[in-house]
Structure 1
Amino acid sequence: MSSSTAGTRAGGARGPDLAGGPPTTAGVIAMGNLDARIEGLTSQATRGRLTADGWGELVELTALRGHVRGRIDETERAASLAETFVDQAPRDPRSLLARARLRGLFHRFAAALDDLDAAAALGLDRRTVDEERAAVCQTVGRYDEALALLRQGLSRRQDFRTLGAMARCHAESGEADEAETWFLAARRAYRGVSPFPLAVLEFQCGQMRLAQGRLVSARTWLESAASRLPSYVPTQGRLAETDAAEGRMAVAIERLRRLALISDDPDYTSRLARLLCQSEASAEARFWRAHAGARYEELMARHPEAYADHAAEFWLTVGGDPQRALRLARHNLVLRATPRAHALVDRAMRRVGQCRR
């Protein structure tokens, strides 16, 4: 798919036409089914009756629920379950795969790659190994390596999984129009009924377009994801950003207030404090700023690799400590030499320079 045709095929300034997309199970039913499945698997684990496949599913579904609900504590629980899985089945490549994925989520990239190497040595299929390695490579900014691995997968099979992986890699590398073409191709290739994979895909494309300032396209993708899964917290958070960028500050603030009460991710309280400051609601802004700052302190103590960039953004803006932001941004750049990581360092350096003047 060439970038010369991507802009036209991806919908241009009007945003893509996502009407008539793949039908999926109602979000409230899907969330109920997810909760019930996790409860059943947990019960089996407690009684010592969970199979290796069941352990892998429990880790995956717990991490998924943590992502959808914006609950870091749930993702931490998934990481703990993955460690238990490895303890119980250290020679099973499925346990190492589960732990590699969670280590990747918390930006422990070297450890994740070690697990993937060990899983490959124990017989994990090449397609899965290559896709997981590609995900790590693109996250740390090694886009050429990631694309080479993904193209090998495409040569063997083109489906929702491989097309979506290509879309994410192009999105991370800054090739937004090319990425959106792959996102659309992956969406057309979806054959399931669960709303989770498709809502995550649509969220990722919407997030990419929002970062570009393509607000119409961003809202189109994000609202499609939200219609499939209304309780999808990250999508609601990006819609709040879109609202604010469109000048709908009251709507954005109210949306973020709801998220701040149900999510333990300080990203939402930080954004809420920032918008409240702009709206001159200083007392409430101070409350949420203090809440976000305390939460970032906790997360940096436990997962410094994963939250250095988010904490840097907080201290650079509403947190009011650009020197600290610069230290964290530089730490993040060592871990992930991505365009966004470089941009964060540049912003922090400019802010520190302004404060010195």
Structure 2
Amino acid sequence: MTGAPSLMREPVTTSGTIAVTNLRGQIDGLAVRLSRTGAGEAQGAHPAATAPAVAAQGAALIDLLNLRGHLLGRVADYEQAAALAERLVQAAPDDATALLARARSRATLHRFAEAAADLAAAGRSGADEATLDAERAVVLQALGCYPDAMALIRGAGEPRSGFTTLGALAVLHAERGEHGEAERLFDEARRRYRATSPFPPAQLDFRRGVMWHRAGDLDAARSWYEAARRRVPDYAPAAGHLAEIELLSGSPATAVALLRPLTRTSDDPEYAAHLAAALHAVGRVHEAEQWRERAAARYDELVLRHPEAYADHAADFWLTVGADADRGLDLALRNLAYGRTTRAHALYRRAVLARNRPAQAAS
């Protein structure tokens, strides 16, 4: 099967369920230590001694919050990380660690121009150039500047045979539609993984699933999403994408079963929207409408607070489950203004076609 998992060496990692529990513990523990460090500074500890420790602990907590936000579909974690990053930089505006942490947090919420400004400031404050290049590559890739991103990834300091570099290159080639080269790099990255955390290989398998999902190979996409969930059973995006495939494949009841738990643990409206579609497909129209309304309200809220990050998802919602092509077109146009990527152009074209469809039907 094209793109399906092969009998390659499987990375040996710890239990994904235990790892998620430990992640929660790490976040709680760091938050307590950070509050104590901050309290000590407020009570008169020497700022020169406490500022680096606060920045280092805060940056670690920000990265863990963003990781949990991705794994469990928690927008609240992204927002908590962003708020903490702002406080860190306010307290130490010239600290490279704090600036790097805020850059990563801003990039997570698609505030790429501000993230780039933070990276420039971090460079002036003495941040490691290889670290800066790796972060710049993330921003450039998100904006569709693939050749520049690739050059930075290849020169970011880690050996070219390392898991991180190979994985980043695999995802970059996948986004460019270069599936053969992406597959080779995905395989090689998996072979090179030597750590015990289940999160990096699960994320890599998920991104491989996304590649085949976008290419229309639903069987291969399903296989990689399932591989990601075997490693981390609570991986919300993998479960959500599996539900999409089940819905497309004519198994809406299976999609409902996958989505219900996500709507209890995640505050991302994407899962509520997909649940509405799945419920409608199984004939539970009244319940479907309730979830559609819930998703609509949540998208309105997130577009207001984080337009760069959620305009595209909200546009897709209104073009499909939301059934409002005018709102979908407006949001797709806003999204195109934030970044003229290939996907942004494709979404805009979809929105224009959807908006014109009723007029064409009438004529």
TM over 0.5: yes
Whether 1:139 and 2:128 are equivalent positions in the alignment is no
1:56 counterpart residue number: 59
Equivalent residue in structure 1 for 2:79, among 68, 76, 80 = 76
Instruction: Show CA shifts across 1:94-139 (max 9, x none).
Output: 1111100111111111100000111112121121111111111111
2:265 counterpart residue number: 262
Equivalent residue in structure 1 for 2:339, among 329, 336, 353 = 336
Instruction: Show CA shifts across 1:255-294 (max 9, x none).
Output: 1122122211000111111222233321111001000000
Superposed, which structure 2 residues align to 1:35-114 within 5 Å?
A: 35-48=24-37, 51-114=54-117
User: 1: CA distance between counterparts of 2:349 and 2:280?
Assistant: 24
- Give the residue type in structure 1 aligned to 2:197: S
Shift in Å at residue 155 of structure 1?
Answer: 8.4
How many positions carry a matched residue from both structures? Answer: 346
- Give the residue type in structure 1 aligned to 2:272: T
User: 1: CA distance between counterparts of 2:350 and 2:289?
Assistant: 24
1:282 counterpart residue number: 285
2:237 counterpart residue number: 234
Whether 1:193 and 2:196 are equivalent positions in the alignment is yes
Whether 1:122 and 2:112 are equivalent positions in the alignment is no
Superposed, which structure 2 residues align to 1:128-207 within 5 Å?
A: 128-153=131-156, 157-207=160-210
User: 1: CA distance between counterparts of 2:161 and 2:337?
Assistant: 34
- Give the residue type in structure 1 aligned to 2:37: G
2:217 counterpart residue number: 214
Larger radius of gyration: 2
1:9 counterpart residue number: none
User: 2: CA distance between counterparts of 1:147 and 1:157?
Assistant: 12
Indicate conservation of the 8 Å contact 2:252/2:281, yes or no. no
Whether 1:317 and 2:313 are equivalent positions in the alignment is no
Q: Provide the identity percentage.
A: 48
Shift in Å at residue 156 of structure 1?
Answer: 5.2
1:24 counterpart residue number: 13
Change in 2 beyond 3 A, CA 1:40/1:147: same
TM-score, with normalisation over the residues of structure 1? 0.92
- Give the residue type in structure 1 aligned to 2:219: V
TM-score, with normalisation over the residues of structure 2? 0.91
Q: Which runs of 5+ in 2 are unaligned?
A: 39-52
- Give the residue type in structure 2 aligned to 1:39: D
User: 2: CA distance between counterparts of 1:238 and 1:46?
Assistant: 37
Shift in Å at residue 247 of structure 1?
Answer: 2.3
User: 1: CA distance between counterparts of 2:31 and 2:283?
Assistant: 47
Indicate conservation of the 8 Å contact 1:140/1:335, yes or no. no
